[in-house]
Amino acid sequence: MSKSRERKALARQMDYILGRRPDEFGLIPDADGFVKVKELLKALGEDPDSRHVRIGHLKELVVTLPDPPIEINENRVRARKRDHLPGLQPAENLPALLYTGIRSRAWPGVHAKGLFVSGGESIVLSSKRSMAERMGRRKDTGAVILTVQTGPLVSRGIMILQYGEILFSAREVPVGCFTGPPLPKEKPQPEPKKKTVRSRTPGSFEPDLESILSGDAQKPKNKRKRKREKPPWRR
């Protein structure tokens, strides 16, 4: 495929993902229609035909095409035509269970305190476990998948918004509203090694002064063997 045809194919792909169905790829744009470039590239990396795409390819679309389908603002990207984007709205006919993926090392803390996000972001949930697994692998190859019960969330007054057909978002998921796998077993801490007391001078020994002063110290044996006397009959 020529360079020109590759750019046109990528332009059509960006128009569909960012301008029509970002929910099919586990993406929820912000209020201005932007998604983070790194999140878009992670979604593209799941397809063998587009895992080669980098930020340079996106910038090339903006520079070379007379009517580029996207615009880039620092680390964010959005479609120029967004008339067909689904809106983020209060969820109706909520499924009983939703799913989300978290980093494996965060699971003990989430298990104890619940799931929260900062910086005005939301927790992205999916009605399909397979989509939650896809989104989880973008954070951690060994991501932990949580099962969220929507009934307890609603009873606590937590609003759940829906985006497209299978994506949902919530500000928090408190303890008691989700389940997950068993916690990893803690590794036993190794016992500290005992320090061996070494003599100050190699090859020397510490004399027992108390025994020497009391006269109980044994005299060093003479290493030279005394000559055995001959018996009388030999003499």
Per-residue pLDDT, 92: 85
Rounded CA-CA distance 197/190 in Å is 21
CATH of the domain at 32: 1.10.10.970
Q: CATH number of the domain that 149 lies in?
A: 3.20.170.30
Last residue of a domain, one of 46, 79, 112: 79
Q: Compute CA 75 distance to the chain's CA centroid, rounded to the nearest angstrom.
A: 21
Q: Are residues 20 and 73 in the same domain?
A: yes
Domain-embedded: residue 215 = no
Residue 21 within a domain: yes
Residues 14 and 73 in one domain: yes
pLDDT tens per residue, range 62-119: 999 999 999 999 999 999 999 999 989 999 889 999 999 999 999 999 999 999 988 7
Q: Are 27 and 65 members of one domain? A: yes
DSSP 219: P
- What is the rounded CA–CA span in Å between residue 79 and residue 29? 10
**Residues 117, 164 within the same domain:** yes
CA distance 68 to 44: 19
- Say yes or no to pLDDT of 228 above 90: no
Residues 154 and 117 grouped into a single domain: yes
Question: Which tens digit of pLDDT belongs to each residue from 151-206?
Answer: 999 999 999 999 999 999 999 999 999 999 999 887 666 777 766 656 555 555 55
Distance, CA of 106 to CA of 129 (rounded, Å): 19
Parent domain of 20? 3-79
Q: If you average pLDDT over residues 122-129, what whole number do you get?
A: 96
Residues 108 and 27 in one domain: no
Asked if residue 231 has pLDDT above 80, the reply is: no
Specify the DSSP class assigned to residue 162: E
Q: Which helix (H) or strand (E) holds 97?
A: strand 97-102
Domain count within the chain: 2
133 shares a domain with 59: no
If pLDDT is split at 50, 70 and 90, which confidence band does 225 have?
Answer: low
Residue 27 lies in a domain: yes
Judge if 29 and 96 occupy the same domain: no
Q: At 220, is the pLDDT very low, low, confident or very high (cuts 50, 70, 90)?
A: low
Q: Which two tokens stand for residue 190?
A: 């190794």
- Is residue 143 located within the same domain as residue 166? yes
Q: Among 139, 162, 179, where does a domain finish?
A: 179
pLDDT at 19: 95
Q: Clarify whether residues 97 and 174 are in a common domain.
A: yes
Contact (CB, 8 A) for 164 and 24: yes
pTM above 0.95, yes or no: no
**Nearest partner of 87 among 193, 172, 181, 165, judged by Cα:** 165
**Residue 176 DSSP code:** T
Residue 219 inside a domain? The answer is: no
One domain for residues 93 and 144: yes
Length, in residues, of the chain: 235
Pairing verdict, β 35-36 and 76-79: antiparallel
* Same domain assignment for residues 66 and 102: no
